[in-house]
Amino acid sequence: MGVEIAVTGLTKTFGSQTIWRDVTLTLPAGEISVMLGPSGTGKSVFLKTLVGLLKPDTGSIVINGRDLTQLREHDLYEVRKLFGVLFQDGALFGSMNLYDNIAFPLREHTKKTEAEIRRIVGEKIELVGLQGAEGKLPGEISGGMRKRAGLARALVLDPEIILFDEPDSGLDPVRTAYLNQLIVDLNAQIEATFLIVTHDINTARTVPDNIGLLYHRHLAMFGPREMLLSSEEPVVRQFLNAQRVGPIGMSEEKDADELAAESGQELPPLPPIALQLPTSDGSVRRTARPAGEWCRTNGVTPPPGSFESSTVAAGAIAAPTVATSGEPTVTSPSTSPYAGSSTLVGEVG
Ligand SMILES: Nc1ncnc2c1ncn2[C@@H]1O[C@H](COP(=O)(O)OP(=O)(O)OP(=O)(O)O)[C@@H](O)[C@H]1O
């Protein structure tokens, strides 16, 4: 069902290098959150700290009432079972076929019989759309398929939390769209808590319920998707709109001269906020909020054109979405560039 992760005052250093300090956020149970940030701001370190592979200097990470940072190795091992992790390259064993790769955690961490393992592996393979590829070696399949296999392996112990480390790295835009759809569909189905680290702005703008931004050794902002997409805060605005003008420079912060040179430059208006990527079968995710709700509740006027079906998330397959009224409506096939697309399950690219 997914569990909440409450992070408070988290600080991580390596020697004299502070990676980030005083990070406080709550990943809500069952929701999809994305963590963004320029390269080297410690997103991977954050994921590794959450799962207990790295120890923070200070702060707490509370899951089910237990602070991970205070657990002994044995108890930490138990809590780690709540997590499934999709590593960047899928982290598959090159000499094992996909079936054995996916079965590996079950054979390693459970006493299940081979018959039970066959049932579970078959179920996860179907979930990620890899039927027929079980006998292939990782080196014989595409990057997209390797990600799917890595995801199936992350799912076999039925995790409550799934961490995705740059799931879209190395994928072309079409494969990224399919993977994003799979992530949304999977979240609807298993209702686990998802945290995705990504550099892909389209993914960040359209997939999650919440967005966070790490910048300059701290968490610049974390909150509902609409809050960040309507934010005028310079760092958030620059990053989420992939602009050069703003405080972030080539090697992180711009110096005073660079900023002075930009003064007076007019920023382009905020682009419309797209509808969140719907599930491919039209089911409404339990944690999805009606489009525009956060803006309305907080008295924020979203950028013109927001939440119109023409701004539906790129990659969306024609399917019912939740409209501003809170009632499900159907994205008209005639307005969807993907009208007539079949389900993603058969796609194994
Ligand atoms: N085990 C380690 N020991 C020392 N320094 C480390 C260790 N792991 C990461 N770092 C440093 O922490 C910083 C943040 O690294 P991290 O990989 O988390 O960044 P990132 O935001 O994920 O970057 P990218 O977007 O490029 O993947 C880097 O300077 C890195 O060199």
Residue 278 contacts by C-beta under 8 Å, 6 or more apart in sequence?
A: 184, 312, 313, 316, 317, 319, 320, 321, 322, 331
Is 60 exceeded by the pLDDT of residue 347?
no
Beta bridge partners of 23: 10
Q: Cα of 56 to ligand 1 centre, how many Å?
A: 14
Residue 91 has a pLDDT of: 79
Q: Output 53 or 340, whichever has higher pLDDT.
A: 53
> Residue range 266-279: average pLDDT?
87
The rounded Å distance from CA 197 to ligand 1 centre is 13
Q: Which residues contact 173 (CB under 8 A, 6 or more apart)?
A: none
Indicate if the pLDDT at residue 33 is higher than 60.
yes
> Average pLDDT of 128-157?
90
For a mutational test of ligand 1's pocket, the pick from 20, 43, 88, 215, i.e. the residue with the most ligand atoms closer than 8 A to its C-beta, is: 43
Amino acid code (one letter) for 108: E
pLDDT the model gives residue 222: 96
pLDDT of residue 340: 29
At residue 335, does pLDDT exceed 90?
no
- 289-306 in b/e form (b: 16+ CB < 10 A) is bbbbbbbeeeeeebeeeb
What tokens were used for 17? 């290098």
* C-alpha of residue 236 to centroid of ligand 1, in Å: 21
- pLDDT the model gives residue 109: 87
Ligand 1 atom closest to the Cα of residue 37 is: 21
Nearest CA residue ID for atom 31, ligand 1: 40
42 CA to centre of ligand 1 in angstroms: 5
Whose CA is closest to atom 12 on ligand 1? 42
Domain ranges of the chain: 5-221
pLDDT digits (tens, 9 = 90+) for 283-331: 989 999 999 999 999 999 999 999 987 655 554 444 333 333 333 333 3
| Both tokens assigned to 289 | 């909020």
Nearest residue to 343 (alpha-carbon basis) of 313, 317, 322: 317
- Mutate which of 13, 14, 196 to test ligand 1's pocket (most atoms within 8 Å of Cβ)? 14
pLDDT tens track for 174-205:
888 988 999 999 999 999 999 999 989 999 99
CA distance 256 to 2: 45
**Alpha carbons 191 and 336: distance in angstroms, whole number:** 27
Shortest-distance Cα residue to atom 4 of ligand 1: 14
**What integer pLDDT is reported at residue 80 of this predicted model?**
87
pLDDT digits over 66-125, tens only?
999 999 888 888 888 899 999 876 678 999 999 999 999 999 888 999 999 999 999 999
CATH class of 5-221: alpha beta
The ipTM assigned to this model is: 0.97
pTM: 0.84
Which amino acids bring their CB within 6 angstroms of ligand 1?
14, 19, 37, 39-45
> For the ranges 9-13, 43-47, 156-160, 172-176, which has the lowest average pLDDT?
172-176
CB-based contact 124:106 (threshold 8 Å): no
Q: How far is the CA of 45 from the centre of ligand 1 (A)?
A: 6
Kindly indicate the confidence band of residue 39, based on its pLDDT and cuts at 50, 70 and 90: confident
* pLDDT at residue 311, as a whole number: 56
Q: Whose CA is nearest to atom 2 of ligand 1?
A: 14
> Which of 31-35, 207-211, 240-244 is the least confident region?
240-244
pLDDT > 70: percent of the chain: 81
> How many angstroms separate the CA atoms of 146 and 140, rounded?
9
pLDDT per residue over 158-170, tens digit each? 999 999 999 888 8
Judging by DSSP bridges, how do beta strands 66-67 and 32-36 pair with one another?
unpaired
Task: Name which of 6-10, 120-124, 230-234, 343-347 the model is least confident about.
Answer: 343-347
At residue 269 the predicted structure's pLDDT band, cuts being 50, 70 and 90, is confident
* Residue with CA at minimum distance from ligand 1 atom 24: 39
What average pLDDT is seen over the chain? Answer: 83
Token digits for 121?
């592996």
Atom of ligand 1 nearest to the CA of 48: 18
